[in-house]
Amino acid sequence: MSLYFEELDFRPTPMGVLSLRRRRHLTSGIDVYEIKLGDEFLMSSQFTVAEIALARLGLAALDRADLDVVVGGLGLGYTAQAVLENTSVRSLIVVDALAEVIEWHEQGLLPLGKQLTGDSRCRFVNGDFFAMSDSAEGFDPRKPGRRFDAVLVDIDHSPRNLLHPRHAALYQPEGLARLAAHLHPGGVFALWSNDPPDDAFNSVLAGAFANSAAHVVTFANPLTDRDASNTVYVGVKADLPIQKASSGMEPAAD
């Protein structure tokens, strides 16, 4: 294969043809890894600022230790790696519908594969994130009903630009409410989007969580010689209300 371009793997899947390729950036000499599904680019290692910000902004909203985290969408692994860089993280489950992407990390075909698979806190789960979010069993097949401190999602291009129509339910009030049920009180949901902040989705997010915000993440785009931006949405679940107990007893969590 050429020094400047190599197709590392090519797989037919029910969602379309999935390919992993490496190309050498001529100016910098840096290898760029890209995952494509059909003609669509799912991820490029040339643009990772917002994927890393997804983890950092989401976890920054938590003021606690021993965090149990879910990442929806493995991709090239930059969000997962940023989660593991946080010393407060106790465990990480990364859910991806494409077994091929998980295999690429496990086989060391991707630059972050060895770091992720070598961290005892990290576990990959091959599954449908959206079906898991909608179910009572949730995201951990080993412990159905388990709750988490944060769920960070980078799968669709945006709440409106979806990889599959069935994903749309997550971004509605009922879908976010079901996702929030998998969070501990005070837990965080964070979502990456390729689009500018969406007023309609902001309203849905505000209705499902006690606090919410849309963060615009700006980064340099060498392909256009100007800045580009993505959006990271963050919603924080309410803490459980405190009930006043009867005389002689301490307040208890409801």
Give the mean model confidence (pLDDT) for residues 88-115.
95
Phi, psi of 90 (to 5 degrees): -95, -40
Nearest to 74 by CA among 47, 55, 101, 50: 101
Q: Look at residue 3 in the predicted model and tell me its pLDDT.
A: 63
Confidence bin at 244 (pLDDT 50/70/90): very low
Mean pLDDT of 31-59: 90
Q: Which is nearest to 104 in space by CA: 180, 178, 8? A: 8
Per-residue pLDDT tens digits for 187-240: 999 999 999 999 999 999 999 999 999 999 998 876 667 889 999 999 999 986
Query: Residue 167 has what pLDDT?
Result: 97
What is the residue type of 249? M
Whole-number percent of the chain with pLDDT over 90: 74
- Mean confidence (pLDDT) of the chain: 90
* pLDDT exceeds cutoff 70 at 249: no
Average pLDDT of the segment spanning 146-173: 96
Tracing tokens 């309410």 back to the chain, one arrives at 238
| Packing angle of the helix pair 173-180, 199-208 (nearest 10 deg) | 40
Its sign, for the CA torsion 126, 129, 130, 131, is positive
Start-to-end CA distance of the chain, whole Å, equals: 62
pLDDT at 246: 35
Contact of 141 with 125, CB cutoff 8 Å: yes
User: Going from the N-terminus, what domains does the chain have, and what CATH number goes with each?
Assistant: 47-253 (3.40.50.150)
The two tokens of residue 104 are 């690429």
Cα–Cα distances (Å) from 252 to 63, 146, 243, 248, in that order, read 21, 22, 6, 12
What mean pLDDT comes out for the span 76-96? 97
Identify residue 131 by its one-letter amino acid code. A
pLDDT band of 40, cuts 50, 70, 90: confident
| Per-residue confidence (pLDDT) for residue 94, from 0 to 100 | 98
